[in-house]
Amino acid sequence: MKFKAVLLLFLFHLNSFGQDSIVSKIRNKSNPILFSEFYFGGAGSDNGGLWLLGYNLNYQFNDKDFLTARFSGLLGIYDNYTLLAPTLILPFSDRKETQQEYALLYGKRWVKENVSFSISSGVSHTDRVYYKRVDEYYEKLNQDYFGIPIELNVKWFKAEKSRFRAYYGLIPIGSRRVSFGRSIGFKITGNFAKNDYLGLAVTYGFGWHKNY
């Protein structure tokens, strides 16, 4: 009888320990670090200034390893002018250039409380459409080439779980504190290729920016 009581007591403690371990694992289980971002800015290239617009999908794993899929669109509008009179100049858009860049980057990302820093590089493919002057006209040309994209990022986001807020963070949604949130930051971006460029952009993102 005493043996059965000891056995039942042992099984009860074992079951309690197992339940506590499962609860502990659930509580310690963290969210993935996965977020997207839009960015807008300007860049300088071999052929002049460019407007820069892009989208990134980012994933962090193994503590500091950082993977990015990037799409960038670049637009260059080059002005010219004509003389209507000796002292009257009429400016107009003479030609334009567009670049569509697809890139995959790998790098490192460091997180401290509500700020992160990252640096990445990889491989890219660019489709460029531009115009070349031939006599009095411009000829439309296409280029396709590979390059080495680079990125340096700094971002700010919430330090702890909180209620998600819509409309630029003004209106809280729901009662639960969540890890999903927004970020804002700056990006130095560029590409070493047949037509190099280097630019600065403002970023705005959504997702899970760290382990909460």
Same domain, 167 and 115: yes
pLDDT confidence of residue 142: 93
Is residue 15 domain-shared with residue 38, that is, in the same domain? no
Q: What is the pLDDT of residue 206?
A: 93
Same domain, 20 and 59: no
Q: How many residues does the structure list for the chain?
A: 212
Task: Report the predicted TM-score, pTM, of the whole model to 2 decimal places.
Answer: 0.75
Same structural domain for residues 17 and 69?
no
CA distances from 6 to 14, 17, 95, 98, 188 (A): 12, 16, 89, 79, 67
Q: Which of 105, 78, 104 is nearest to 91 (CA)?
A: 78
- Both 122 and 183 in one domain: the answer is yes
Examine the domain organization and report whether 25 and 100 are in the same domain: no
Regarding whether 57 and 23 lie in a shared domain, the answer is no
Judgement on whether residues 50 and 120 belong to the same structural domain of the protein:
yes
pLDDT value at residue 21: 43
Count of domains observed in the chain: 2
Show the low-confidence residues of the chain (pLDDT under 70). 1-29, 78-95, 164-175
- Both 89 and 74 in one domain: the answer is yes
Report d(CA 199, CA 41) in Å as an integer. 7
Asked whether the beta carbons of 194 and 45 are under 8 A apart, the reply is: no
Looking at the structure, tell me whether residues 65 and 170 fall in a common domain: yes
Residues 22 and 51 in one domain: no
Question: Euclidean distance between the first and final Cα of the chain, in Å?
Answer: 50
For residue 16, the enclosing domain spans: 1-30
- The pLDDT assigned to 11 comes to 44
Tell me: do 111 and 46 sit in the same domain.
yes
Q: What is the pLDDT of residue 7?
A: 42
Instruction: Indicate which CATH number applies to the domain containing 84.
Output: 2.40.160.20
φ and ψ of 211, to 5 deg:
-80, 115
Whether 191 contacts 147, CB under 8 Å: yes
